[in-house]
Amino acid sequence: MYNTVSTQNHRLYLEDVALEQVATQFGTPCYVYSKAALVKNYQAYQAALGDQKHLICYAVKANSNIAVLQTLAALGAGFDIVSAGELERVLMAGGDPAKIVFSGVAKTAGEMRRALEVGIHCFNVESEAELDLLNRTAAEAGCVASVSMRVNPDVDAKTHPYISTGLKENKFGVDINLAPAIYERAAKMTNISLVGVDCHIGSQITEITPFIDAMDRLLLLVDQLKDHGIQLQHIDIGGGLGVHYQNEDVPSVDDYMAQLLPRLEGRQEMLVMEPGRSITANAGLLLTQVQFIKSNGDKNFAIVDAAMNDMLRPALYQAWMDIQPLNTDSSSAERQYDVVGPVCETGDFLGKDRNLTIAAGDYLALFSAGAYGFVMSSNYNSRGRAAEVMIDGAETHKIRARETFDDLVRGEQLLPVSTEGH
């Protein structure tokens, strides 16, 4: 993964911009992304895929800011979406509808209609019930829906249980053993065109073997279907490649493709991939400011202005994310801290037992925050969501304004005031 963070004169930089300058200009908490890192991470896939016929569909849910999508669309990226909202974001960002795959277990008829109308590449269908609804919806719209069935290859991705999706017990996809019968049924539907097969076995996967096992199972299915006269045009291996948060041994995109591509040699099918985290995680940081330092007996707390509503990963997955001061030229003493936010939950922490040389007022960066960061943020505790900034060389662009109180109460209404009294 490409790194655009550096230290110059004891100050952290993202590309050519001192992050302290971003924090003072835009306030904190604030998400900052490096455009160069986004581009490099995307190009790593393109380069590793070489001559292999492919379509890289960035998984929008990892980071759906329209400026991020615009950056990737300009490189020719496709997109993996999971809702009509994500579809509209991609269109607004200039994405090509013909390169969109639509995943998700609960697509509504309305979402299907909109996707048919704009002409997406295909629906990644996750159940027979969804297939029936899609066939009916396409018939009503007078068109044919392109379909890939999402199968569950039953491989263990060896990742956190909340982000493991390819085991039989997960809600995603159809059992790969039942897939041939479903494909044969679908082949007879008048408004369905079978174009591919897909899987997505989990996220933050740090070994290549589960991907290869999944691909081998997909290939068996594809060949079996071919014997029954169903010729698919693409094979979609999903996303899921892990990134560095701490000192994990993470395979590179090159390592991954070096093992995957030989499996596809001599085959006609296009390879589709749906990377999310590996494109955006290391391209982003969350900036926050220390409000107070507090000690309870032998425990020290750095209370910062970012909370679990801004960054949920530590609270939701016990995720470890690196935390460093933006200015390391400090006269404070190094101490061990739990870095906690202002939200009224004990689970509201960004990091525990971190050795930091900091004082109240200092700025901190939470690393690798570009994926599953802002997108999971909420207004819990009536906190406005953070600003987002894109850095491009020496330029900074505000790509999302910090939410105001008016934003928070938009759409809410007081009850009519009773004139009688009680």
Ligand X SMILES: *Cc1c(COP(=O)(O)O)cnc(C)c1O
Binding site for ligand X (CB under 6 A): 59, 61-62, 80, 103, 200, 203, 238-240, 274-278
Tokens of 17: 């911009």
**C-alpha distances in Å from residue 258, one per residue of 127, 255, 321:** 32, 5, 29
Shortest Å distance, C-beta 3 to ligand X: 19
Kindly state the smallest distance separating residue 238's Cβ from ligand X, in Å.
5
Cα–Cα dist 115/2, whole Å: 34
- For ligand X, which is the closer residue by CB, 277 or 385? 277
Instruction: Tell me the closest approach of the beta carbon of residue 42 to ligand X, in angstroms.
Output: 12
Which pair of tokens denotes residue 5?
């963070």
Per-residue burial over 339-372, b if 16 or more Cβ lie within 10 Å, else e, is bbbbbeeeebbbbeebebebeeebbbbbbbbbbb
Question: Cβ of residue 17: shortest distance to ligand X, in angstroms?
Answer: 26
**Minimum CB distance to ligand X smaller for 157 or for 339:** 157
Q: Which is nearer to ligand X, 127 or 381 (CB)?
A: 127
Q: For residues 210 and 164, is the Cβ–Cβ distance under 8 A?
A: no
Q: From CA 262, how far away is CA 240, in angstroms rounded? A: 20
Is 344 one of the catalytic residues? Answer: yes
Q: Pick between residue 164 and residue 288 the one whose CB is nearest to ligand X.
A: 164
Q: What's the half-sphere exposure (Cβ side, CA atoms, 13 Å) at 311?
A: 36
Closest distance of CB 223 from ligand X, Å? 23
Nearer to ligand X, 59 or 350 (CB): 59
CA distance 195 to 111: 20
| Non-local CB neighbours of 313 within 8 Å, separated by 6+ positions | 319, 321, 372, 373, 376
DSSP string, 186-245: HHT-TTEEEEEEE---BSSB--SHHHHHHHHHHHHHHHHHHHTT---SEEE----B---S
In the complex, the smallest distance separating the C-beta of residue 171 from ligand X, rounded to whole angstroms, is 11
- The dihedrals phi and psi of 174, each to the nearest 5 degrees, come to -110, 150
Shortest CB 56 distance to ligand X, Å: 11
Cβ distance to ligand X smaller for residue 35 or 277: 277
Q: Coil, helix or strand for 328?
A: coil
Closest CB to ligand X among residues 237, 304: 237
CB of 315 to ligand X, least distance (A): 19
**CA atoms 105, 108, 112, 115: torsion sign:** negative
Distance CA 138, CA 111 (A): 12
Residue type at 110 in one-letter notation = G
- Residues 124, 133 contacting (CB under 8 angstroms): no
Q: Please name the helix (run of DSSP H) or strand (run of DSSP E) that holds residue 301, with its range, or none.
A: strand 299-304
Residues 30, 143, 199, 344: which is the catalytic one?
Answer: 344
Angstrom distances, CA of residue 125 to CA of 10, 64, 83, 101, 178 = 51, 22, 13, 10, 14
Closest CB to ligand X among 105 and 109? 105
Question: Which residues are known catalytic residues?
Answer: 344
